[in-house]
Structure 1
Amino acid sequence: MPSAWERLKTSTTRPTRMLITEPVVTFFTLWVSFAWGILFLFFDSVYLTFHEDYKWDIFTVGLAELSILVGAIIGLTFNPIQDAMYKQSAKRNKEADTPGKPIPEARLYTSIPGSLLFAGGLFWYGWGSVGRGSVHWIVPTLGIGCTGIGIYSVLMTVINYLTDAYERYAASALSATSLGRNVMSGLLPLSSPALFEHLGFGWAGTLLGFIGVALSIVPVVLVLKGPEIRQRSPFMQESTFD
């Protein structure tokens, strides 16, 4: 039985190795970290929009921020559809070592439109806020809600896919992504005042939206090339339950 020191060493080094050597973990970390960072960035930018431009008090601004939660709840309603597609994928599984088992890439299907909603919400919120209070408040609020749907979609996809693809090492893979999420949630909000002041809400939203669009390629590549990537990954091959 491994000693406490050996277990501690493994739990520290394995997530780091996976983050550096596993492209799936690396790009999923970038994807989910950016989405998570946007969540915290919104806490500053929503205040700038609704308190300074719309002259709302702090309590009312807090209600506007709840639109992220509403978006997440809407995203939750797509889970049964995603689960059904995941279970149906077992019938199409022709892999020699896992016949009749659901395909991990089936976890990604709804994340593709979800990631596009995430990016679209950033464009929507940014350009909906350029009126400096002259545009109806529902316009940027809907953009925030749309982004909330995307954030939920990205987060749940990363958790579900890494759990299915890495099985024994799922905790290590998720630990690596958690490191990225925590770092980004601390750093990205620091850029919020300078970002929106120098670029303006429209172009700041455009910049963030284009980054979101670029990262939405991650689930597309895995849907198309996922089985090949899993066959070439030592961690995925080693971690499969018999």
Structure 2
Amino acid sequence: TLTNPLSSVLTGIPAGSYGSGNSWMESLFHVQNTPFPNLYWATTSWNMGAAFWPLIFVPLTESSGRMPGYFVAYIILIISLFPSAFAQNYATLVVTRFFGGGASSVSINIVGGSISDVWYGDKARSLPMSLFGLTSVIGIALGPFVGSAIVAIHKSSPWRWIFYVQIIYLTGLLPIFWLVLKETRADVILARRARKIRKETGRPIYAEAELDNTSMWRNVQISFERPTRMLLTEPVVAFFTLWISFAWGILYLFFSSVVQTFSSNYGMNSLQTGTIQLAISVGALIGTVINPLQDILYQHSARRNTENPGKPIPEARLYTSVGGSLLFAGGLFWYGWASMPSVPWIVPTLGIGACGIGIYSIYMAVVNYLTDAYEKYAASALSAASLGRNSFGAFLPLASYELFETLGYGWAGSLLGFVGIALSVVPVVLIWKGPEIRRRSPFMREATFATDEDDEFDAGVEKDAEDGGENGAATCRPSR
């Protein structure tokens, strides 16, 4: 459980560390980075890979298992860093980072799935998912600090050393992950056991997954179609995607805006601005400490659930996120209006930290609510949200320079803050009208109905398997 979040951090760092070498790449590759941040296109390509690769490759792990998919993605990430490290032109960076971002996102998605496999139930999964949410945010947020530290240490071709160091630690940890991480997908484990039993005994025992004739291509097709359909037809998915996408876009916007504001207002160098961005990680850590309160509120909601007695209310996942979302919006106002030479640097830094708390809170609320509300279709709902947030992370920061230069730091922060306030209405509406919205949603209704059927089926699985073993082919089904 601890190894999985660690790998999430390590594979996320390359997303944000790249920008620390901008001044050297601008000179070497003759890329003009002002007034338009052309060097950010390499981060845009990273995020577009992160947006689309999971839709294609994560479904392939349905039959092969999580660990083969994880290690293939991990190795592709390492391989993609080599041409980036030795690039002789900027186009090479843009292309190779598309592959790196895609591979990184696939590996992180698989890590999240592995945690859900191992820890079943709200209480058991609470802490592991909280840690995974933390590492998902700080893995990206640590990037600028790690990159700027490498640049500060290596004076000869420092931007290349950003990639060299990543190659070294990712390659060095590969055998450790290989030894520690094990397959967690239940149907794949059962299929392996069933094949072993057939080979040893000759008995016709099959895992349920082996009897599923759905083709790999059909799984990929569903992986594209269902999230898209849910984005277009499910208001909850659409608005939650907007909510998390804006927060994720701001996370990447800080990569460029912090350098812009703190270097011009306070004369800070690359290492200093990278250190300032640690405030996002500190904020996410504070959010993790607060998160158990949200879990307590969620569990206690079962006492007043008249719709499904004894089961927590899905909207109870959103209680602390209302405050977190408003704190996120307030942090944007804070950061914008405090970013002036006459105000000590720590003041806008605290605003960034407030945003970090909010980003973590929003991320956890979206992941947990979509998982609870859509159950059977949670993977598709989360894929839709992931597609949106990585797309915002790809393009929103491209407007950073013009936004802050044209409007000024205060009004640029205010514009972003007002958008944040508007999106804070999303969890409020769900808390207020959640049951009614869920009753009107065909996906939520079907997911709930399917779950009830599964619970009834589980009661007879063991007896059915025994009868099959005596009289015919037995079917092994993953336990819930």
User: Shorter-chain TM-score: which interval?
Assistant: over 0.9
Quote how far apart the aligned CAs of 1:110 are.
Answer: 0.1
Aligned to 2:291: 79
Superposition deviation, residue 11 in structure 1: 1.4
Aligned to 1:228: 436
Shift of 1:61: 0.9
* RMSD over aligned Cα atoms: 0.7
Equivalent residue for 2:61?
none
Number of equivalences: 238
| Residue of structure 1 aligned with 2:259, choices 47, 50, 54 | 47
1:199 corresponds to 2:411 = no
- Matched position secondary structure for 1:109: helix
The CA deviation string for residues 66-116 of structure 1, in whole angstroms up to 9 with x for no partner, is: 001111111111111000000000011001xx2210000000000000000
What code does the residue aligned with 1:159 have? Answer: V
2:324 alignment partner in structure 1:
114
Q: How far off its partner does 1:198 sit?
A: 0.2
> Following the alignment from structure 2 to structure 1, what is the Cα–Cα distance between the partners of residues 446 and 217?
23
Code of the aligned partner of 2:335: Y
Q: Which residue of 2 aligns with 1:124?
A: 334
Shift of 1:50: 1.3
1:137 paired residue among 320, 340, 345: 345
Distance (Å, rounded) in 2 between the aligned partners of 1:100 and 1:186:
42
**Corresponding residue for residue 8 of structure 2:** none
Question: Deviation per CA, 1:139-193, whole angstroms, max 9, x where unpaired?
Answer: 1001000011111110110000000000010000000000101110011000000
Q: How does 1:145-224 map to 2 (within 5 A)?
A: 145-224=353-432
Range with greater deviation from structure 2 (4-13 or 161-170) = 4-13
| 1:56-95 → structure 2 map (5 Å cutoff) | 56-95=268-307
Q: Distance in 2 between matches of 1:45 and 1:112?
A: 26
Q: Distance in 2 between matches of 1:187 and 1:229?
A: 31
Structure 1 residue runs of 4 or more that deviate by more than 6 Å after TM superposition: none
**In structure 1, how many angstroms separate the alpha carbons of the residues matched to 2:416 and 2:215?**
46
Q: CA deviation at 1:5?
A: 2.3
Q: Following the alignment from structure 1 to structure 2, what is the Cα–Cα distance between the partners of residues 213 and 18?
A: 25
Quick one: which amino acid aligns to residue 71 of structure 1?
G
Q: What SS does the corresponding residue of 2:310 show, helix, strand or coil? A: coil
Task: Report which structure shows greater RCO (CA 8 Å, sep ≥6).
Answer: 1
Question: TM-score, structure 1 length as denominator?
Answer: 0.97
> Between the two proteins, what is the percent identity of the paired residues?
67
Mark the structure with the bigger radius of gyration.
2
Report the more deviating stretch, 1-10 or 109-118.
1-10
Q: TM-score, normalised by structure 2?
A: 0.49
Equivalent-residue separation in structure 2 for 1:11 and 1:58 (angstroms): 41
Q: Name the SS of the counterpart of 1:48 in structure 2.
A: helix
Equivalences for residues 25-44 of structure 1 within 5 A:
25-44=237-256
- How far apart, CA to CA, are the structure 2 residues paired with 1:238 and 1:116? 33
Q: Secondary structure at the match of 1:112?
A: helix
Q: CA deviation at 1:239?
A: 1.1
Distance across 1 between alignment mates of 2:306 and 2:310: 8
